[in-house]
Structure 1
Amino acid sequence: MRLLLDTHIIIWALGADPRVKHIAERLTDPDNEVYFSVASLWEMAIKVGTGKLEVDVAEFRAEALATGFMELPVLGRHIEALAGLPNHHRDPFDRLLVVQAASEPMRLITVDATVAMYGNHIELI
């Protein structure tokens, strides 16, 4: 299965946060392809700049890749798909993750109940 981790999940997964303990096996299962989006790195960089997050984004990215997670770029077709996405959620990063997961296709793993409103390709944990 192809899994796309939202920003909270990727941060928690790399930090061994107990909130992702129940999906840890799926994240390390060799039958699963686990992705993080460049959009999550962008969101993190903005939060670092505003003082809401303390992390070295380059080191975080390197650690995610070293863990075996794969990087999903933001493509033109992802941006185009945003135009047709219902406005259940206003967060631009979450909206982008939703269309990335739908268009690739992947299962988006999130903790945001509003994101889960976008369909059955979203998994709320």
Structure 2
Amino acid sequence: MGWTSRDSRRHRRLGSRRPRSLCPVRGFGRFVRLLLDSHVVLWWLTSDPRLGPRCVDMIVGADEVAFSAVTPWELGIKRASGKLSYPDDMVAQLRASGFVERSITVEDGVLAAELPPHHRDPFDRMLIAQAISSAFVLVTSDDQLAAYEVALLDAGA
């Protein structure tokens, strides 16, 4: 289930509250909150090497790591069409990793609708809106999202 680095195992024993000493993140402010793009969730769960070591360290050391309600929705549509697969207990695995769920609010919907049309994918637009409205750094490898005024972390770094 996901990454098994020493820090990640230590975090699981400590519960959902990550101590400041584990936080290697600099430059994003005092309290680091990450929102994972859907493909990053898959990479995390499968220990995919496309998820870079710096990114893994930042996820492990962040104060809060969230996944959106968009993720099981988007991935479920792709799984139903045969484009990908993921574990049936994906959400349980994410919770076990200490990640928190981020629901979609009406305000998120309004903000997603008002975003400039740089990117047409409605799932990505919702993730951008959620990251902006809740002060998350969005972890992604989708370089098209840089067109928006949202804090990004390169998943491949």
Q: Is TM (by shorter chain) over 0.5?
A: yes
Equivalent residue, structure 1, for 2:122: 92
Within-5 A mapping of 1:65-84: 65-84=95-114
2:53 is the alignment partner of 1:36: no
Gaps of 5+ in 1: none
Instruction: Tell me how far apart the structure 2 counterparts of residues 7 and 60 of structure 1 sit (CA, whole Å).
Output: 11
Q: Secondary structure at the match of 1:71?
A: strand
- Alignment match of 1:9 (pick from 30, 33, 40): 40
The structure with the largest alpha-carbon Rg is 2
Offset, 1:110: 0.8
Structure 2 gaps, min length 5: 1-31
Measure, in 1, the Cα distance between the counterparts of 2:73 and 2:87: 12
TM-score (norm 2): 0.74
SS of residue paired to 1:20: coil
TM-score (normalised: structure 1): 0.92
Superposition deviation, residue 2 in structure 1: 0.3
How far off is 1:120 after superposition?
A: 4.3
SS at match of 2:50: helix
Higher helix share: 1
Secondary structure of 2:139's partner? strand
Residue 95 of structure 2 is aligned to residue 55 of structure 1: no
RMSD of the TM alignment (CA)?
Answer: 1.3
Matching residue's letter, 1:50: S
What is the distance in 1 between the residues matched to 2:73 and 2:131? 17
Q: State the one-letter code of the partner of 1:85.
A: L
Whether 2:57 is the aligned partner of 1:25: answer: yes
Q: Secondary structure at the match of 2:70?
A: helix
